[in-house]
Chain A
Amino acid sequence: MATQHSRSAARIMMAPAVVLLLGWMLVPLIMTLMFSFKRYLPLRGGDLGWTGFDNYIRFVSSSAFWPAVSTTLIIVGAVLIITIVLGVLLALLLDQPMWGQGVVRILVIAPFFVMPTVSSLVWKNMFMDPTNGLFAHLWRFFGADPVAWLSEASVPSIIMIVSWQWLPFATLILLTAVQSLDSEQLEAAEMDGAPALSKFGYLILPHLSRAITIVVLIQTIFLLSIFAEIFVTTGGAFGSRTLTYLIFQRVLESQNVGLGSAGGVYAIILANIVAIFLMRIVGKNLDA
């Protein structure tokens, strides 16, 4: 079928993409690995030689490490739970017959297209500001003391902002999966008089499990590296420092490249564990 001629042409046409991505992956990765074994302070003497696993040990034993890990896990876990639970409910609602379905879809999907710096700032100032924010107005209206959201409850506030950004993504993918549900099966269940809850538990949820897995994996990869949402709201203060932000601070703010690179290697390993599962699912789909 494919001639020898077209085979070699195909190879040539693939070459630029493969070479570029290979370079993009390997060059920085090797440099990060190299730096992570060095004492490297660009502003205080530069490259001060090899130190073995010193940076790896120091990164883990610093007092900022474990809080950053737990903040990261709390944010990722909470956002996943919120977006998936609400996403499933919202997908089921949007799948029902209604007037103006297209417009509602557009309203629901909109937050995903707002750039992270804008959504973070809008939430930070116009909603969460303790004096003039909309929440403060609302709290005062009910006679409560306004909350200084981003300093008193920084992690829940960030979870809320990030959930708002990612709920559309989860909803859209789950809605796509709901729409591919076999309606005959559902009708048969309805005829047999299956209650709504068991219809959900035995038919809909199993059908959605694949889409949910994919949402979990893709969101985890993105959520592990959220940056702008913290950069413009708290700047990592008030216990909102994630692993990504900690590494950013080590590398660019305190210019300790060796230490930051060791942290980077940890982050790469963490992301890879998630990625392996995602690739399995996507890979299986390629065979089908």
Chain B
Amino acid sequence: MARGITNQRKAINTAAAWAVGLLIFFPILWTILTSFKTEAQAIADPPIFLGFNWTLENYATVLERSNYARFLWNSIFIAGGSTILGLIIAIPAAWSMAFVPSKRTKDILLWMLSTKMLPAVGVLYPIYLIFIKMGLLDSKIGLVVVLMLINLPIIIWMLYTYFKEIPGEILEAARMDGASLKEEILFVLTPMAIPGIASTLLLNFILAWNEAFWTLNLTAVNAAPLTAFIASYSSPEGLFFAKLSAASTMAIAPILILGWFSQKQLVRGLTFGAVK
């Protein structure tokens, strides 16, 4: 009897949650579906949901017309480069704050977080000017550095909260056994920290991939990543729904898949450990 009631409640919950979930997901689903339609089917009234002739034509057109591969490569280079560079700088810093804390560690961590709060538009022109002076405008290296600096506080914070959970006794035991500092980090700490480092890498790759202020303002042609590629569809090409959808699907698909793996880390990374 009681089981029947819970099952009934479970069914209602399931129906409600799926309805809301599908509603929220619908714009993405619709974009993916539209990318396989012809332009005429894409704007048909009444709209066609599934009963259309699936075609890959739009993907072919997008690939052929714009240099999609270059935008994609730029996105990978910029997001990947900034994340890896960030990790190289952040791992030692997070290590020392987690295992050799001093009185000022907390202040330093909070100060690092505060640099993240600086509104980008407030420092747009200085960065723009520095980029021109150094010949970095529209260069991938420049963006790698800027995005690395933007995400560095998040990287350090995430690593710090992960490192904090590694028991210090294990490290001390290694030290007792005569491991040098370098060995301690390389052979004892790193293997234990790999899961934390991997999720940090994933989340920051996603954040850098989607970043759309600096990537739009500091690139023109050579270094423009997918954010800028899509922005170029703003008009009038945007009115070709099927091609817009194909381009959009190609821009978001890789990150959507990565994102689903990193949803748990998202909470931790973006609230700086304040919500567990």
Contact = CB atoms under 8 A, between A and B. Distances in A.
Interface of A: 2, 5-7, 9-11, 13-14, 16-18, 20-21, 24-25, 27-29, 31-32, 35, 90, 93-94, 96-101, 103-119, 121-127, 129, 132, 134, 137, 140-141, 164, 167-169, 172-173, 176-177, 180, 210-211, 214, 218, 221, 224-225, 227-228, 231-232, 244, 247-248, 251-252, 257, 260-261, 264-265, 267-268, 270-272, 274-275, 278-279, 281-283, 285-287
Contacts of A100: 14, 18
A6 B101 CA distance: 11
Contacts of B24: 107-108, 110-111, 164, 167-168
Contact of A271 (B21, B117, B216, B251): B117
A137 B47 contact: yes
A197 B154 CA distance: 38
B141 interface: no
Contact of B16 (A93, A141, A169, A265): A93
Contacts of B276: 176, 180
Contacts of A286: 106, 109-110
A101 B16 CA distance: 12
Contact of A113 (B31, B212, B231, B256): B256
Interface of B: 6, 9-10, 13-14, 16-18, 20-22, 24-25, 27-28, 30-31, 34, 43, 45-47, 89-90, 92-93, 95-97, 99-100, 102, 106, 108-110, 112-115, 117-130, 149, 152-153, 156, 181, 206, 209-210, 212-213, 216-217, 226-228, 230-231, 233-234, 238-239, 241, 244-245, 248, 251-252, 255-256, 258-260, 263, 266-267, 270-276
Contacts of A279: 110, 113-114
Q: Specify which of B13, B18, B217, B274 lies most central, judged by the most chain A CB atoms within 10 Å of its CB.
A: B274
Contacts of B31: 122, 126
Given A117-B216, A126-B241, A164-B24, 15 more contacts: A9-B96, A21-B152, A28-B126, A31-B126, A113-B210, A113-B258, A121-B231, A210-B274, A214-B271, A227-B216, A248-B121, A260-B125, A267-B122, A271-B119, A281-B274
Query: Chain A interface secondary structure, helix, strand, loop or mixed?
Result: helix
A83 to B, nearest CB: 12
B121 A99 contact: no
Contacts of B252: 113-115, 118
Given A13-B92, A118-B251, A282-B272, A32 B213 contact: no
Nearest to B168: A1
A274 B113 CA distance: 13
B27 A272 contact: no
B230 A16 contact: no
Contact of A17 (B17, B90, B125): B90
Main secondary structure of the interface of B (DSSP, over half): helix
Contact of A111 (B28, B95, B108, B266): B28
B230 A115 contact: yes
Contact of B216 (A16, A214, A231): A231
A224 B259 CA distance: 24
A36 B31 CA distance: 44
Given A10-B96, A252-B128, A108 B119 contact: no
**Which of B16, B124, B216, B231 lies at the interface centre, i.e. has the most chain A CB atoms within 10 A of its CB?**
B124
Given A14-B108, A261-B125, A116 B275 contact: no
Given A20-B149, A227-B212, A108 B25 contact: yes
A285 B43 CA distance: 52
26 contacts: A10-B100, A14-B93, A18-B112, A31-B126, A96-B10, A97-B9, A104-B18, A108-B21, A115-B230, A116-B227, A121-B231, A125-B244, A129-B239, A168-B24, A169-B270, A173-B271, A176-B276, A218-B271, A225-B120, A252-B128, A252-B217, A264-B119, A272-B117, A281-B274, A282-B110, A282-B273
Contact of B118 (A11, A25, A177): A25
